[in-house]
Amino acid sequence: MKFTDRWEMPEVCFYRVEGHGFASIGDRPLFAYGKPDETDSRGRPKVGELYESLDRAMIAWVGEKYTGVRGAGGTGVGTAADWFARMIGMDQLTQAGAEGRAALALAWKSTDHCADSVRARAMERGLENQGYVIAAMNHGR
């Protein structure tokens, strides 16, 4: 297991973890958090659970900070972080896959005639008509 990226703040450090050994996840990285100055017996960062996204690791840390460490059968961080993720629909988004990419390419081609100012909306309507939903990241603009 390799810690390939590190994002440190005074209270917490987040890590990208590669070579984790979970075959079901493949080569995708996982993410973890721990205290910036704590290491295990091998000198590696001391972390708890591994998460499928940095977002998930962050909300788990916030949950732990305010509700306590999750214990076996306890009601701490898992409940708060998992509830928040469900509330915002975090787990409902999935990668489109080959079929979705093909639909996107078709939508792009079918809007060649559109002016740039309306092309994105025309593509979105075309994809929605095929049953796809476009998810956008909100960066607080």
Q: Same domain for 103 and 120?
A: yes
Report how many domains make up the chain.
Answer: 2
For residue 73, the enclosing domain spans: 2-92
Which residues pair with residue 33 across a beta bridge? 14
Q: Same domain for 24 and 37?
A: yes
**pLDDT tens digits, one per residue of 25-40:** 888 899 999 999 999 8
Q: What is the pLDDT of residue 121?
A: 85
Q: Which of 51, 38, 30, 43 is nearest to 12 (CA)?
A: 38
Q: pTM for this structure?
A: 0.62
Percentage of the chain modeled with pLDDT above 70: 86
Compute the distance between CA of residue 96 and CA of residue 133 in angstroms, rounded to an integer.
10
* Other beta carbons less than 10 A from residue 1's beta carbon: 13
H-state helical runs in 1-141: 54-67, 77-87, 97-110, 116-129
Q: Same domain for 99 and 76?
A: no
Compute the distance between CA of residue 109 and CA of residue 114 in angstroms, rounded to an integer.
10
Q: What is the pLDDT of residue 70?
A: 72
